[in-house]
Amino acid sequence: MNNEELIKIFEYYIPDPKCSLNYTKDYELLIATVLSAQCTDERVNQVTKVLFDKYDLKGLANADIKDITDIIRPCGNMNRKSIYIKEIANRLLQEQNGIVPNNREYIESLPGVGRKVCNVVLANIFNENVIAVDTHVERVAKRLGLASNKDNPLQVEKKLDKRFKDKLGRLHHQILLFGRYYCKAKNPLCEGCKFREICKYKNENNW
């Protein structure tokens, strides 16, 4: 199956791909993405509605850390994440005039921010041609033979980048959402799937 055929199928399943995290400011997406580690986007959106309604960036920098911890508790790992939030807010204010820069090295230097979080920010705020490999993207890529089962997330990212080149921004959300709603880790919706002919999961499970 060539790239055009693959993209056409992703378009069929996810015709309106967009970020699942709610935000109105660049730092809100950054913080929401940090909170999304080991947490669903739905729960993060519930938490950030309270957090961002109460605090702007300066407010977060000066907030009582216990209050931040209490608000973000449903996201898990709240003690560490609350520290990340305060430090991110302080650094952005002190070093970047409160603006998230289009600078991978700087963004990845922020606490709680790795390559995946950085790629989400770069793709959504700056329309950079990058793909964030989370568990959904990794699972779909491996099941469809776009990456090897032994590949780590960075290797998966490089293979998708090499194969799809300038299509990654839109495709990122399509692969992620396809994995979340169709090609699920447990009980994937395999019956009638348009990727069946190339799916390793189907072959391994004798569908």
Model pLDDT for residues 78-124, shown as the tens digit of each residue = 999 999 999 999 999 999 999 999 999 999 999 999 999 999 999 99
Q: Quote the tokens at residue 193.
A: 């799937």
Cα–Cα distance between 160 and 64 in angstroms, integer? Answer: 42
Q: Quote the tokens at residue 88.
A: 């991110």
Q: How far is CA 109 from CA 84, 101, 106, 202, in A?
A: 12, 12, 5, 41
199 lies in a domain? yes
List the CATH number of the domain containing 101: 1.10.340.30
Final residue of a domain: which of 81, 108, 126?
126
Asked if 53 and 136 sit in the same domain, the reply is: no
Q: How many domains does the chain have?
A: 2
Q: Give the pLDDT mean for 57-75.
A: 96
Q: Tokens 């009582």 label which residue?
A: 64
User: Which residue range(s) make up the domain with 64?
Assistant: 26-126
> Which segments of the chain are extended strands (E)?
none
Question: Which residues are catalytically annotated?
Answer: 116, 134
Name the residue among 154, 36, 30, 173 with its Cα closest to residue 101.
30
Q: 206: pLDDT confidence band, cut at 50, 70 and 90?
A: low
21 lies in a domain? no
86 lies in a domain? yes
Q: 144: pLDDT confidence band, cut at 50, 70 and 90?
A: very high
Q: Quote the tokens at residue 148.
A: 């090897």
List the CATH number of the domain containing 141: 1.10.1670.10
Q: 205: pLDDT confidence band, cut at 50, 70 and 90?
A: low
Q: What angle do CA 91, 169, 11 make, to 5 degrees?
A: 145
Name the residue among 106, 81, 83, 82 with its Cα closest to residue 26.
106
